[in-house]
Amino acid sequence: MLAKTRLLLRALTISLTPIRPTIGAITQLQQIQPLAENGAASVLGLQQARSYAKGKDRKKEKGGKGKPAKVEINEQQLRELINLDSLNAQMEKSVMQMKEDFIKNLSLRSTSGAIDTLRIKVDGAEHELQELAQISRKNPKTIIVNMIAFPQTIPDVLRAIEKSGMNLNPQQDGTTLFIPIPKVTKEHRELLSKNAKALFIKYRDAIRDIQNAQIRKLKKQTDIAKDDVFAAQTQVTAIADKYIAEADKLLVSKQKELTGET
């Protein structure tokens, strides 16, 4: 009877004792926990990386670094600050003058007509060569310029011919200039193309001078807010860019014509 009682008490004690985790189980639990934490961190890092990548993609979609943003011209607001018609007229005049110089001075065969209208600067004023001299052709290969009426302007005429871009080398005999017409060679074509680029640069710089003069006027106006001055300055620059782009198209077309490209 006593033995049975002891067995019952022992069984009861075992059933009431809490289950303790083994060392192996604890070790496995410790290994799982950091893995879970690392996994969460990895997921977070991946999300951040994805967000960064999306940000880069968005930048690419916007056109990439260095690409200038298109400037909208608000003519109504700009007219309140500057004389917009005068600005456009001055810049357009530069483009038209370049176009005229291309036609008159950059032909594959120099003609007496181009020489007739060559502009000569004398004492600060411009004159056409035909106003200062008698121009004729001795033969198909030579142009004669008789300067007997205004011999004092011969140095000015020689400088103008040299800068004309027509690749002419006049020979002086007293008050008469003999101008040989050069043959149309590959070298001559290339030289005319270079002269076309030089004329483009000349008129491009003239447009920039008009732009900069207008911007200086804007900055001197103390009754205009700085933000308005900056906005107007940006628009004036955009207008100049438009005329320069137009002149550049004329240059490309002229160079193709001179070099024989299609």
Position 118 scores a pLDDT of 87
Number of domains forming the structure of the chain? 2
Tell me the residue range of the domain where 255 lies. Answer: 75-106+185-259
- Of 121, 149, 122, nearest to 135 by C-alpha is 149
CB 234 within 8 Å of CB 72: no
For residue 92, give the CATH number of its domain.
1.10.132.20
Identify the weakest region by mean pLDDT among 3-12, 146-155, 180-189, 212-221.
3-12
Q: Which residue has 């033969």 as its token pair? A: 139
The two most distant CA atoms of the chain are separated, in Å, by 159
- Among residues 147, 180, 213, the one where a domain terminates is 180
Please report whether residue 151 resides in a domain: yes
Whether residue 100 sits in one domain with residue 191: yes
Domain edge (last residue) among 180, 209, 226? 180
Residue 239: partners with Cβ closer than 8 Å, 6 or more residues away: 73, 87, 88, 91, 211
- 153 and 89 in a single domain? The answer is no
Residues 101 and 189 in one domain: yes
Please state, rounded to an integer, the average pLDDT across all residues of the chain.
78
Residues 201, 229 within the same domain: yes
| Structural domain ending residue among the three candidates 180, 206, 239 | 180
Residue 126 lies in a domain: yes
Q: 92 and 100 in contact (C-beta within 8 Å)?
A: no
Same domain, 98 and 194: yes
User: 3 has which bridge partners?
Assistant: none
Which of 167 and 64 is assigned the larger pLDDT?
167
pLDDT of res. 233: 94
First-residue to last-residue Cα distance in the chain:
123
Q: Measured between alpha carbons, how far is 195 from 156 in angstroms, rounded to an integer?
A: 20
Structure tokens at 59: 């930048």
119 and 140 co-located in one domain: yes
What is the tens place of the pLDDT at every residue in 24-72?
444 444 444 444 444 434 333 334 434 434 444 444 444 445 555 677 8
CATH label of the domain that carries residue 117: 3.30.1360.40
Rg, the chain, Cα only: 42
Helices 186-220 and 84-105: crossing angle in degrees, nearest 10, is 170
Strands 176-180 and 142-146: antiparallel
Establish if 164 belongs to a structural domain. yes
Residue 207 and residue 175 share a domain: no
Q: pTM above the 0.75 mark?
A: no
Q: Residue 213 falls within a domain, yes or no?
A: yes
Distance separating alpha carbons of residues 55 and 126, to the nearest angstrom: 60
DSSP for 137-187 reads EEETTEEEEE-SS-GGGHHHHHHHHHHSSS----EEETTEEEEEPPP--HH
Pair 120, 229 in one domain = no
Q: What is the DSSP letter of 225?
A: -
- Do 100 and 128 share a domain, yes or no? no
Contact 182, 167 (CB under 8 A): yes
pLDDT tens-digit map of 176-231 = 999 998 777 888 788 889 999 999 999 999 999 999 999 999 999 888 888 999 99
Residue 189 inside a domain? The answer is yes
Dist CA 50 CA 230 (whole Å): 38
Q: Identify whether 32 is part of a domain.
A: no
Note whether 205 and 99 are same-domain residues: yes
- Residue 50 in any domain: the answer is no
Residue 62 forms part of a structural domain: no
**The pLDDT value given to residue 3:** 53
Q: Are 102 and 215 in a shared domain?
A: yes
For residue 112, pLDDT beyond 90: no
**pLDDT (tens digit per residue) in 74-111:** 888 899 999 999 999 999 999 999 999 888 778 766 55
Residue 128 contacts residue 120 (beta carbons within 8 Å)? yes
Tell me the HSE value of 259 on the side-chain side, using a 13 A CA sphere: 15
Nearest-angstrom CA–CA distance, 242 and 205: 14
Residues 196 and 230 both lie in one domain: yes
Pairing, β 142-146 against β 134-139: antiparallel
